[in-house]
Structure 1
Amino acid sequence: MKRDAHIHSPYCPHGTQDTLNAYVEKALETGFTDISFTEHAPLPPSFEDTTPEKDSGMDVDALSAYLVAVNEVKDRYKNDIRIRAGLEVDFIEGYEEETRRFLDLFGPMLDDALLSVHFLKLDDGYHCIDFSTDVFMEAARIAGSVPELYNRYYNTVEASVSADLGAFKPKRIGHPTLIHKFQLDHGEAIDDQPQIEKLFRSIAAGGYEIDLNSAGLSKPGCREPYPPEAYLPYAKSLGIPLVFGSDAHSVAGLHKHHEKFYNNPTILMK
């Protein structure tokens, strides 16, 4: 089985307008047998998106149309490939109850889902730490240092793992080292091995999966997957399922770098 379980769509407010059919056709050409469309879920209703275009999640009014469209393409290609209708759900500290209510309502309609941290709560509010280098560095200044921002990130991801988000809480933790996205830009050597391994132990204890996300390999400030390859044997030793995700926001990005993982027999893939 070749599976890509983190794919965005034309319903992404900050992606391309490539059609669902185009994604599926490329998946078939590349030999994939199982894909998940995991569009950015609407953010909690009372949360204010702090990105300039306020486009981190789809509008709630588009959600039904998105699910209908994915289910239509799922039926159209049912004899050729397994297609899962999913969402990438943001975990935002302080908005757990709204997130739970959302999942209670829409969770029964999903085949797959990720739980990801993009926003960190700092003293002056929330910052989307993967938006840009400038936003990252400003967040680090407010946190007190780059290492402290890393600590805040890992603490928040750990909180997402332990949070009670109800029966439909996603079982896969999205890009668990996303804080590395600008590591070559900020230029500090951060030893976060203890935090990563502690996080992995929490993920294993909770029975969660890890999104083995290849997108960081294409980011000039990162140049590594989330999580880095050096930590994959540790995840394997803990019995954590690793699920490949290209995090594609366009057909061109679909399955990018997949061969690095599917050709590696030491990696436990699900």
Structure 2
Amino acid sequence: MRDGHIHTPFCPHGTRDSLQRYAEALIEQGFSQATFTEHAPLPQGFADSTPTQDSAMSLSLMEDYLAAIQAVKEEYKNDLVIHIGLEVDYIEGFETETAQFLNKYGPYLDDSILSVHFLKRSGKWYCVDYSADYFEEMITAFGSVSAIYESYFQTVLRSIHADLGSYKPRRIGHITLVRKFHKKFPCPSDFSREIEDILRQIHHKQYELDYNGAGMAKPLCAETYPPASVAMKAKAMGIPLVYGSDAHQAAAIGQGKEKILL
């Protein structure tokens, strides 16, 4: 059993649960492998657009983060295989800055995720999963729920094709994160063709897919990212699926796992 998407006390919007608490929770649930994937520092020149400006770890903490994961990796080596990783944001227009960051820190990473959280509209950036109220503001800015979905899936596709250097993450994160609030703001349009195109490109690039259980814990979502039907299409195409709890606290380790079909 493997959890390939776990956050840490270095996350500014998470909890202060220690790395040891995460490791103990993993062992208790029978996991044999895990990757800590803290939100990588946002690219130089990009300003966090969330109201709390706490989307990612500060660049000043990168050395401490790497040292801390290396230490817990050694501490639990007899019970758990721990990988050092990051969840890297793909932000359109900041490919060069992201590649420069990865060129510096990529050699120290075992396994990472490339995710889309930020979308741009009329010169302003929006974080697609921040809150339901914030998503409602996005609907006004983008003009419709469908327009947000279209922008999100287009950006995910661009992330797959982006040249981020030799240390570009090989796993694409929560490809249906835009559905986090779909029970309150349903989308009238069908984006199955866009999702299938994303899967084809992931397969072509020989990337992995983050099969993320966090949406099961979100009452306005209540499904995995991606939903089981999409995950089964990915599996049929031969795309490796990696379960991720996307835990931001030790108690969330294993969330959604009962709905993961592998």
TM-score range, shorter chain: over 0.9
For normalisation by structure 1, the TM-score amounts to 0.95
Q: 1:89: which partner in 2?
A: 88
Amino acid at match of 1:231: V
**2:141 corresponds to 1:142:** yes
Q: 1:161: which partner in 2?
A: 160
Cα distance in structure 1, aligned partners of 2:141 and 2:128: 12
Amino acid at match of 2:124: G
Deviation at 1:100, TM superposition (A): 0.3
Deviates more, 1:116-125 or 1:86-95: 116-125
Deviation at 1:227, TM superposition (A): 0.2
Q: Is the 8 A contact 2:215 2:256 kept in 1?
A: no
Deviates more, 1:84-93 or 1:121-130: 121-130
Structure 1: unaligned runs, 5 residues or longer: none
For normalisation by structure 2, the TM-score amounts to 0.98
Q: 1:50: which partner in 2?
A: 49
Q: 1:181: which partner in 2?
A: 180
Structure 2: unaligned runs, 5 residues or longer: none
Q: 1:76: which partner in 2?
A: 75
Q: How many residues of Structure 1 are paired with residues of Structure 2 in the alignment?
A: 262
- Percent identity of the aligned residues? 49
Q: Which runs of at least 4 in structure 1 moved beyond 6 Å after TM superposition? A: none
Cα distance in structure 2, aligned partners of 1:188 and 1:86: 33
Cα distance in structure 2, aligned partners of 1:188 and 1:237: 26
Deviation at 1:137, TM superposition (A): 2.1
Cα distance in structure 1, aligned partners of 2:199 and 2:37: 22
| Partner deviation per Cα, 1:115-146 (whole Å, 9 max, x = no partner) | 00000011131100100112212222222211
Secondary structure of 1:244 counterpart: strand
| Partner deviation per Cα, 1:38-64 (whole Å, 9 max, x = no partner) | 000000120010111211110111111
Cα distance in structure 2, aligned partners of 1:30 and 1:233: 24
Deviates more, 1:191-200 or 1:102-111: 191-200
Q: 1:192: which partner in 2?
A: 191
Cα distance in structure 2, aligned partners of 1:131 and 1:89: 17
Secondary structure of 1:185 counterpart: coil
Amino acid at match of 1:143: F
Q: 1:16: which partner in 2?
A: 15
| Partner deviation per Cα, 1:139-172 (whole Å, 9 max, x = no partner) | 2222221111101000000000000000000000
